[in-house]
Amino acid sequence: MKIKRVFSGLFVVAMLGGCASGFDATYDYDHSVDFASYKNFAWISENPMHVGDTVNPVNPLLEQRIMAAVEAQLGAKGYTLVNAPDKADFVMSFTIGSRNNIKVDQYPSMAGGYYGAAYPRHWGWGGAYYCCATDTQVRQYTNGMLALDVFDEKEKRPVWHGVATKNITDSDRKDMDKTVSAAVSSILQGFPPPPADAGKK
């Protein structure tokens, strides 16, 4: 029971961290891999950023910001950055992208007036109630995406994948260091994944 409470607590902390950042993160990984054996990492190349589908020109400063955030947060988890892929236990790359979405909201409008007898008159509401008219509001927003990929260096294959998405606001754009750090944090909450037998204890 004690172990279950510990894992429940960790899950709540992770969920709260994800909510606080505003990013939605998902993960997938190879359950046969012993992630506990990983001690050091490197970038897959000098320029590990890939650009996926995007509606906006890519800010060239993003690559270094993301690399710095990943290095700092993996370092805090106890991993050591090495300067050559062949010296690493795992190597990493990442992909960024964005797309425009349209959201249509409909809500009651006073333009429709009042009719009927929705409330009893003795309630003091006069017996009239708003009916049928609606106002429609159309909003366009940009959904940003950051994906991190981990490859086993010895076996030369992908072993872990994490993605974070968020509707990007003006405040996000004004403080890109904070936004990038939050995105990376939301993804790396899932790395390393729990041991395969964690739930069996």
Q: Does position 120 have pLDDT exceeding 70, yes or no?
A: no
Q: What is the CATH number of the domain that holds 55?
A: 3.30.160.670
Domain count, the chain: 1
Tens-place pLDDT, residues 56-104: 677 889 999 999 999 999 999 999 999 999 999 999 999 998 766 555 5
Please return the burial class of 77, using the count of CB atoms within 10 Å of its CB with bins 0-12, 13-18 and 19+: exposed
- Tell me, yes or no, whether 115 lies in a domain: no
Domain that holds residue 53: 2-104+141-200
d(CA 132, CA 116) in angstroms, rounded, equals: 11
- Tell me, yes or no, whether 37 lies in a domain: yes
What pLDDT score does 71 carry?
Answer: 98
> Helices 62-76 and 176-188 meet at what angle, rounded to 10?
50
- Tell me, yes or no, whether 66 lies in a domain: yes
What pLDDT score does 165 carry?
Answer: 93
What pLDDT score does 115 carry?
Answer: 45
Mean pLDDT of the chain, nearest integer? 77
Average pLDDT of 173-188? 94
- Percent of the chain clearing pLDDT 70 (strictly above): 63
- Tell me, yes or no, whether 128 lies in a domain: no
CB half-sphere exposure, 150, CA atoms < 13 A: 26
Kindly give, in sequence order, each residue whose CB lies less than 8 Å from that of residue 152, ignoring residues fewer than 6 positions away. Answer: 33, 89, 90, 158, 159
Average pLDDT of 146-170? 94
- Tell me, yes or no, whether 168 lies in a domain: yes
- Tell me, yes or no, whether 194 lies in a domain: yes
Tell how many helices (H) and how many strands (E) occur in the chain: 4, 9
Q: Does position 114 have pLDDT exceeding 60, yes or no?
A: no
Q: Does position 4 have pLDDT exceeding 50, yes or no?
A: no
Q: Does position 49 have pLDDT exceeding 50, yes or no?
A: yes
Ranges 4-8, 31-35, 140-144, 183-187: which has the least confidence: 4-8
Q: Which residue has the higher pLDDT, 169 or 196?
A: 169
